[in-house]
């Protein structure tokens, strides 16, 4: 049973181009399936989350992270009476706009665009992917997703100003997104905070002692695990503590969001949209725990000495390739040369680079820029 404030598929604002209904799948289920079958989704398998394949095949990539976000999101949606199919579609599509090399790649691509008067935004790029770049259907360009999924791509993690982004005017920028979209950014953080602790510990960059010292939520649950399983191997105690963190944060998000909805007397989807702030939120205590964990990961993992050579290499590869194609646009694939006839060249190059996997961009750099340094 859906809550009164959930998105109902029969009330969807529809697609850009009308299509006949499917006999046994509703519109949000079809959107989910279109995302899964897209090239952009498949490419997530070869895009870095934190660690490249050079480190281990066991570490998360963008695809496995996305699957974890979808699993967590569906659990929360079910407890809150939200539309699980819409939530799953949004979780599966939320990262398809990210470029190769993780956050280092995003930083480098944004810097390259700013040098030419632009910028890179992975949400906006994801919208371009589903509206234009995916070519699977004879009847229309893109995936022709429903309004609610396209809106969620744009608004799940931030609010856009209508004056700064008139091209997004159709997406109700003066209103909050539905709860189905609001929770995606939070489940994304819950998923990658716990996963990155796991991968960082497995990579032996993060040490158990420093995690216990600096991440209060981990220290608390690890003490409980030590009491319950005193003879268990260290890694299994670590796993149990992470599981408890995940359960704690998910439960808090469910209970706090439900309480905020009740306190605001929200009864309809329009109430959610018209509320002055987002209703999906962790409690104050859990938010402090989340922020502390994230700060620790930034301080001790993401910018750690062992990972810096790869980050620097990623930035160099993107910067040099970008400038090469700016100077030699005739070396772009023919389809992108056609795009450059109507769109600014920096934007065309940005779109091309953002869609690449780690392996492909390294191959392109070797082809066009030589091999000044080992690529790892």
The answer to whether residue 282 scores a pLDDT higher than 90 is: yes
Reported as a single tens digit per residue, the pLDDT across 21-72 is 999 999 999 999 999 999 999 999 999 888 776 666 788 899 999 999 999 9
Q: What is the CATH number of domain 9-308?
A: 1.10.3210.10
Give the model's confidence band at 371: pLDDT under 50 very low, under 70 low, under 90 confident, else very high: low
Question: Please, which residues bridge with residue 15 across strands?
Answer: 146
| pLDDT at res. 53 | 61
Q: What pLDDT is recorded for position 27?
A: 97
Residue pLDDT, tens place only, 131-186: 999 988 988 999 999 999 999 999 999 999 989 999 999 999 999 999 999 999 99
At residue 123, does pLDDT exceed 90?
Answer: yes
pTM assigned to the model: 0.94
- pLDDT computed for residue 375 by the predictor: 40
Minimum mean pLDDT range among 48-62, 247-261, 273-287, 357-371: 48-62
Residue ranges per domain, the chain?
9-308
- Angstrom CA distances, 233 to 213, 229, 236, stand at 20, 9, 5
């Amino acid at each position: 049973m859906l809550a009164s404030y959930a998105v109902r598929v029969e009330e969807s604002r529809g697609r850009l181009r009308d299509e006949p209904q499917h006999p046994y799948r509703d519109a949000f289920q079809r959107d989910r399936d279109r995302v899964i079958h897209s090239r952009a989704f498949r490419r997530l398998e070869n895009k870095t989350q934190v660690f490249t394949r050079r480190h281990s095949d066991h570490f998360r990539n963008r695809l496995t992270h996305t699957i974890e976000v979808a699993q967590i999101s569906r659990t929360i949606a079910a407890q809150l009476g939200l539309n699980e199919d819409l939530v799953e579609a949004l979780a599966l599509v939320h990262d398809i706009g990210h470029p190769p090399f993780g956050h280092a790649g995003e930083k480098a691509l944004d810097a390259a665009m700013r040098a030419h008067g632009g910028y890179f935004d992975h949400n906006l790029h994801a919208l371009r992917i589903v509206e234009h770049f995916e070519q699977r259907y004879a009847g229309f360009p893109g995936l022709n997703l429903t309004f609610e999924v396209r809106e969620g791509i744009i608004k799940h993690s931030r609010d856009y100003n209508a004056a700064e982004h008139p091209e997004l005017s159709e997406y109700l920028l003066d209103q909050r997104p539905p709860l189905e979209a609001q929770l995606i950014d939070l489940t994304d953080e819950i998923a990658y905070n716990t996963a990155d602790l796991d991968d960082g510990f497995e990579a032996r960059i993060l040490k158990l002692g420093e995690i216990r010292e600096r991440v209060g939520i981990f220290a608390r649950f690890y003490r409980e695990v030590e009491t319950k399983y005193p003879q268990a191997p260290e890694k299994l105690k670590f796993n149990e503590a992470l599981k408890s963190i995940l359960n704690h944060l998910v439960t808090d998000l469910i209970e706090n969001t439900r309480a905020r909805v009740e306190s605001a007397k929200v009864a309809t989807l329009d109430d959610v949209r018209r509320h002055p702030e987002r209703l999906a939120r962790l409690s104050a205590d859990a938010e402090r725990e989340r922020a502390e964990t994230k700060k620790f990961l930034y301080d001790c993992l993401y910018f750690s000495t062992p990972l810096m050579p790869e980050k620097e290499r990623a930035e160099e590869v993107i910067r040099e390739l970008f400038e090469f194609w700016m100077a030699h646009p005739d070396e772009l694939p023919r389809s992108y040369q056609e795009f450059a006839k109507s769109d600014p060249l920096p934007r065309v190059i940005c779109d091309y680079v953002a869609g690449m996997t780690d392996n492909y961009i390294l191959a392109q750099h070797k082809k066009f820029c030589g091999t000044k340094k080992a690529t790892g």
